[in-house]
Amino acid sequence: MAAFEGGTETPVSLFFSNDFNGCNSVAMLLKGALHVHTTCSDGEMSIYEVVRAHEAMGFDFIALTDHDFLLRPECYEEVRSLSTDLLILRGVEMTVFARGYVHINRIEGNEDVLHVFNHPDELGLPVKKAVKRILEVADRIPLDAVEITTKGFHTPEFEVDALPFSKVATDDSHTRHMIGRAWVELECKKDPDSIIRSIRFGDFWNCFA
């Protein structure tokens, strides 16, 4: 595993959590996935299967970020019936038109919201032009972070100072074999707003299998 220190609308509901026996009130080292798809959109695994797979790989939290144009109403309600210590944040992968379509993850906490520009490598543009496109989007949407991965593979060309946002690693998992290619680790309380703030302020590590 390699680890790197972190860099600097469709409505969604609050996160889902279970009883962590008070552990969520103290800082701890957390492993998390910020970009996860399920059968609620174009993923191949159900929410139950996604949760169990991440549990088996030692994850502490995940963000469900299915596509806005495919997400079925109330699909995430299944989470409420699951028995798990995994903290599950609810999000959505928004499709935004900015001289072409781009994807932005919106991840909800209790009171805070995280916006992440997804897989900029998939824009198919030279880095300078991709950076310009991202900054144009940031004029409309309050971006907090930019992915430095495509389907879990590192794209270090986007770790540039011209993008004044945190740089995050995700595996954008759609299938079981994609889980665990890239993730973040951070030391904070196990609650959504603490996680969101840690990502926003770059207080985390990017990790790769």
> Which residues does 54 contact at the CB level (< 8 Å), separation at least 6?
33, 36, 62, 86, 179
Q: What is the pLDDT of residue 191?
A: 96
Q: What radius of gyration do the chain's Cα atoms show?
A: 16
3 state DSSP class of 79? helix
Q: What is the pLDDT of residue 85?
A: 96
Dihedral angle sign, alpha carbons of residues 114, 190, 13, 45: positive
Provide the greatest CA pair distance for the chain: 49
Smallest Cα–Cα separation from 116: which of 138, 101, 99? 138
Q: Note down pLDDT in tens along the chain; length 209 residues.
A: 444 344 433 333 344 444 444 456 688 999 999 999 999 999 999 999 999 999 999 999 999 999 999 998 899 999 999 999 999 999 999 999 999 999 999 999 999 999 999 999 999 999 999 999 999 999 999 999 999 999 999 999 999 999 999 999 999 999 999 999 999 999 999 999 999 999 999 999 999 99
Domain spans in the chain, listed from the N-terminal domain onward: 27-208
- In this structure, whether the domain defined by 27-208 belongs to CATH 3.20.20.140 is answered with yes
Q: What is the pLDDT of residue 172?
A: 98
Helices marked H in the chain = 47-56, 127-138, 192-200
Sole residue written with tokens 């088996």: 56
Residue 39 exposed, middle or buried by CB count within 10 Å (0-12, 13-18, 19+):
middle
